[in-house]
């Protein structure tokens, strides 16, 4: 994601989740980047979070759970969403 896309997503997250005003934007930007990396890695493909609204929603939820230090619970609750994205982005190889 570009810096502009990250800032737009951060603005959207702030409007929807109303995080603590005492937290710095950099903390949430770190969560966004971590979530993007995690979702892309599990799916095996770079996802366009502007077009894929399912992936965008998953990323926003990742940020929410990361903010509350509950990523283990997130992985349990959203495992099916990861599986759907994996199926959608799966690219067979010759290996």
pLDDT given for residue 71 in this prediction: 96
pLDDT at residue number 73? 97
Q: Which domain holds residue 64?
A: 3-16+24-89
Task: With respect to residue 51, please indicate whether it lies within any of the assigned structural domains.
Answer: yes
Query: Is 34 a member of any domain?
Result: yes
Range 54-61, long-range pairs (CB < 8 A, 24+ positions): 54/81, 54/84, 54/85, 55/85, 56/9, 58/82, 58/85, 59/9, 59/32, 59/35, 60/9, 60/12, 60/13, 60/16, 60/17
| Total domains in the fold of the chain | 1
Kindly state whether residue 37 falls inside one of the protein's structural domains: yes
- Spatial contact of 32 and 10, defined as CB atoms under 8 Å apart: yes
Q: Is residue 94 part of a domain?
A: no
Residue 47: inside a domain, yes or no? Answer: yes
Residue 95 belongs to some domain of the structure: no
For residue 43, tell me if it sits in a domain: yes
pTM: 0.90
Each residue of 62-80: pLDDT tens digit?
Answer: 999 999 999 999 999 999 9
In a domain, 73, yes or no: yes
List, as own/partner pairs, every contact residues 20-28 make where C-beta atoms lie below 8 angstroms and the sequence separation is at least 24, other chains included. 23/67, 27/67, 28/63, 28/67
Instruction: Tell me which residues of the chain have a pLDDT lower than 70.
Output: 92-95
């Amino acid at each position: 994601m570009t810096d502009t896309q990250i800032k737009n997503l951060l603005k959207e997250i702030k409007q929807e989740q109303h995080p603590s005003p005492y937290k710095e934007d950099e903390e949430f930007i770190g969560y966004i980047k971590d979530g993007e990396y995690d979702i892309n890695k599990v799916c095996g493909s770079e996802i366009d979070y502007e077009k894929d609204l399912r992936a965008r929603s998953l990323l926003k939820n990742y940020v929410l759970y990361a903010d509350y230090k509950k990523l283990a619970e997130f992985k349990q609750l959203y495992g099916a969403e990861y599986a759907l994205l994996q199926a959608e982005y799966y690219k067979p190889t010759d290996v």
